[in-house]
Structure formats: structure tokens, C-alpha cells
């Protein structure tokens, strides 16, 4: 199996239709983590939020949609893009964090697994197509890619469907300023074993880490910041400053490792597809990475971004961004044969991963 390469043969994404702009939050009542009313005018809160995150609007799923449903749409588009028979897929890996949550429901539903639901919705009958979920925080989709690559290298699988999907709008605290960062979406990719591919192509290297000691709860579930809300209902919570410091410390080192392990020079990396977490954070990470090589990056050229209009959709950010760039949604970002690109992510756990890939 040494001559087998793991190739991304198709991608697909689903961008929800409902646009939620920053001005839509000016009517919210915001409290801090001590449940004290924030006296700053909402217009100022929203303005500062956009300055820091780069987010002007985000997308929310329609009320009748579920995470498994939008995952299926993205998957079907990836299958069509790859031009494959879905019955030939060996594994379906769905990365998410909260399962299916119906509108106005406070319970998550992840039984059966979302991957099994996707397989059912796609009409795949082959029992040897194994479907399972992966929970790894925001880096979940990329971890699914790493896992699929490992199975392909081991000869266990020849074709895998890896999906990242999330409807975060169902678990957001409307009284928490940080909730404005999150959004909904789904992205998918077909990974295939190729024996006829150039040995320099496909996945070149990968790295993953979990910092689950004192960093564990930087992103977690907690009560609403509003003193009037039910303490038994949990919402996603983020210690923004700690996440920023953690990511800036560890992610550049992880990316450098995969670049060095791949044998590629940093100057040969054409694009870095980083988790769309926060514009300022992402820019700081890439600058810190290049500083490790005593270089300065050309950020507008090397770092595609869709966070400005799509927000942070967790596991869906990288696959949706990659799909959009592959399909020329951003004319300023073109991919070409033999380009080396990097995928990298950080999120709850606290987990980090990165992959070097040559097209």
C-alpha cells in the first residue's frame, strides 16, 4: 500500500439561505458572564464585534432543517462532483458537535448517528459502507479527513465521504455577545485511494493534538448569561481571550510541523485553509507561522476567508471554504495542479490539527 495516495476527488457544500446581519442583534439584551447587564449601547457592541471578528453577517438554517439534512445536501453535491456511485463508498464520517436539534427543542438527538441518517437519506444500501460520527470540536471535519486517510493507508477503505455539518443557531444564548460569532452550514469531501496518482500528490502529512488539562473548558456548555433564564438549559460558551491565546501559541507550531514533515518549503505553500474562527485570530496565527520561518505572509493572497459573510460554522468552515475556492466563488483565489495547500483548525477539547495536501 506504500504507493497509495489519498486524493480529494470531489467537494460539496450547503450554505443556509437565512442571512442574519449584525444589525439584527441591536435589539438583544446582553449580559456579561457574571449576569450583570452590559451598559454599553448595542450599536457599539456590534461595531466592536465586527472590528475584531470581521463578521458582518452569518447564515442560519431554516426552521425545518436539521444538521443531518444539510449534511446530506453537502454530501450529495460532493458525490456528484466526484462522479462516483455512492454504493462504492466504504465509510461515511460526519463531524458535528450537537447532533440534530429541532427548532424550539432543548434536546440534542444523535441516536442513530448522523452519519447513519445521511447514509439512509442518500439511499445507500451497501452494508459494508460503515457510517459513524466524530466529535472533535471545530477541527472535527479535518480530523475525519485524517482518520479517512489512515484507513486508506491501512488498506481498510478505498473511498470515504467526510462531512462537517452544524446548526449552531439552535444552541446560542441570545444574551451572550460571543454568540454572534457562530453560524450554520455543511461541507463535504470525497477522499479516494489512488494507485495511479503521482507520488507527490494527495495528503503529504498530518498532525493532531488534544490539550485536555487546564485548557479543557475554554469552550463548553453553560447557562444563559441572563438571570431570568432557566439554569438547566445549556448553551455553547466560549472564553474568547483564552481561546485566542491558546490558538496563537499552539496552532502555528502544529502547522509548521506538517509543512516540515511534508518536505515542502513554506514559500511553496499556495493557500492556507484555516478554520474560520475570527478574522483577527486567523491573521495572527498565519503571521506567527511565517515568523517561525523569519518571513512575512502575503495574507490576502495566501489565506482565503469566507467568515465575513458566513460567520463561524464550526466543523463546516474549512470544507465550505475549500469547496467555494475550488468552484471559483472567489476569483482572487485560484487553485492549480500541483499546488500545495494547508488545512488547519483549532477548537473545543482543546483540539488542534493540520494537514498538508498537494492538488
Pick the closest to residue 183 from 320, 347, 314 (CA basis): 314
Percent of the chain exceeding pLDDT 70 equals 99
Three-state secondary structure call for residue 225: coil
Instruction: Give the span between the Cα atoms of 32 and 19, in whole angstroms.
Output: 26
Question: What is the pLDDT at residue 210?
Answer: 96
Nearest-Å Rg of the Cα atoms of the chain is 20
Instruction: Give the pLDDT band (50/70/90) at residue 45.
Output: very high
Give 10-21 pLDDT, tens digit per residue. Answer: 999 999 999 999
Give 278-330 pLDDT, tens digit per residue. Answer: 999 999 999 999 999 999 999 999 999 999 999 999 999 999 999 999 999 99
Instruction: List beta partners, residue 160.
Output: 91, 191
Percent of the chain exceeding pLDDT 90 equals 90
Superfamily of domain 202-358: Thiolase/Chalcone synthase (3.40.47.10)
Instruction: Give me 315's grid cell.
Output: 466543523
Give the phi and the psi of residue 255 in degrees, each rounded to 5. Answer: -65, -40
Query: Domain-by-domain residue ranges, the chain?
Result: 5-194, 202-358
Is the predicted pLDDT of residue 241 greater than 80, yes or no? yes
Mean confidence (pLDDT) of the chain: 94
Pick the closest to residue 282 from 315, 304, 254 (CA basis): 304
Instruction: List beta partners, residue 206.
Output: 355
Are 5-194 and 202-358 equal in CATH topology?
Answer: yes
Superfamily of domain 5-194: Thiolase/Chalcone synthase (3.40.47.10)
Q: Beginning with the edge strand found earlier in the chain, give each strand of the sheet holding 159-167 in spatial order.
A: 5-14, 184-194, 159-167, 91-95, 130-134
Q: Are 103 and 170 in contact (CB under 8 A)?
A: yes
Question: What is the pLDDT at residue 2?
Answer: 60
Q: Are 266 and 295 in contact (CB under 8 A)?
A: yes
Mean predicted confidence (pLDDT) in 141-155:
96
Mean predicted confidence (pLDDT) in 43-66:
94
The reported pTM is: 0.92
Is the predicted pLDDT of residue 1 greater than 50, yes or no? no
Q: Under 8 Å CB-to-CB from 99, ≥6 apart: which residues? A: 67, 108, 109, 110, 114
Instruction: Give the pLDDT band (50/70/90) at residue 195.
Output: confident
Instruction: Give the span between the Cα atoms of 75 and 89, in whole angstroms.
Output: 12
Amino acid at each position: 500500500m506504500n504507493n497509495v495516495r489519498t486524493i480529494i476527488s470531489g467537494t460539496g457544500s450547503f450554505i443556509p439561505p437565512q442571512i442574519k446581519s449584525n444589525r439584527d442583534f441591536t435589539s438583544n439584551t446582553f449580559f456579561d458572564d457574571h449576569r450583570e447587564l452590559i451598559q454599553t449601547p448595542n450599536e457599539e457592541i456590534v461595531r466592536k464585534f465586527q472590528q475584531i471578528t470581521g463578521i458582518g453577517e452569518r447564515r442560519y438554517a431554516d426552521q425545518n432543517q436539521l444538521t443531518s439534512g444539510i449534511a446530506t445536501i453537502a454530501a450529495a453535491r460532493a458525490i456528484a462532483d466526484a462522479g462516483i456511485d455512492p454504493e462504492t463508498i466504504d465509510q461515511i464520517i460526519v463531524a458535528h458537535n450537537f447532533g440534530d436539534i429541532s427548532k424550539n427543542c432543548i434536546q440534542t438527538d444523535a441516536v442513530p448517528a448522523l452519519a447513519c441518517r445521511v447514509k439512509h437519506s442518500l439511499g445507500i444500501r451497501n452494508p459494508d459502507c460503515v457510517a459513524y460520527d466524530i466529535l472533535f470540536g471545530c477541527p472535527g471535519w479535518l480530523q475525519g479527513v485524517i482518520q479517512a486517510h489512515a484507513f486508506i493507508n491501512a488498506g481498510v477503505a478505498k473511498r470515504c465521504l467526510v462531512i462537517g455539518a452544524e446548526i449552531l443557531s439552535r444552541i446560542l444564548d441570545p444574551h451572550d455577545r460571543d454568540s454572534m460569532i457562530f453560524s450554520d452550514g455543511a461541507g463535504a469531501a470525497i477522499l479516494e485511494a489512488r494507485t495511479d496518482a503521482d507520488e507527490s500528490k494527495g495528503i503529504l502529512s498530518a498532525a493532531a493534538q488534544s490539550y485536555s488539562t487546564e485548557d479543557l473548558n475554554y469552550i463548553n456548555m453553560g447557562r444563559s448569561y441572563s438571570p431570568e433564564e432557566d439554569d438547566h438549559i445549556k448553551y455553547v460558551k466560549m472564553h474568547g481571550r483564552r481561546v485566542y491565546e491558546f490558538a496563537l501559541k499552539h496552532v502555528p507550531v502544529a502547522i509548521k510541523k506538517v509543512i516540515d514533515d511534508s518536505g515542502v518549503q513554506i514559500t511553496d505553500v499556495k493557500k492556507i485553509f484555516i478554520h474560520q474562527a475570527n478574522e483577527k485570530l486567523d491573521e495572527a496565527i498565519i503571521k506567527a507561522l511565517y515568523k517561525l520561518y523569519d518571513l512575512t505572509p502575503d495574507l490576502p493572497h495566501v489565506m482565503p476567508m469566507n467568515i465575513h459573510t458566513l460567520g463561524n460554522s464550526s466543523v463546516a468552515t474549512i470544507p465550505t471554504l475549500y469547496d467555494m475556492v475550488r468552484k471559483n466563488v472567489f476569483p482572487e483565489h485560484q487553485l492549480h495542479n500541483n499546488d500545495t495547500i494547508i488545512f488547519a483548525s483549532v477548537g473545543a477539547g482543546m483540539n488542534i490539527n493540520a494537514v498538508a495536501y498537494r492538488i
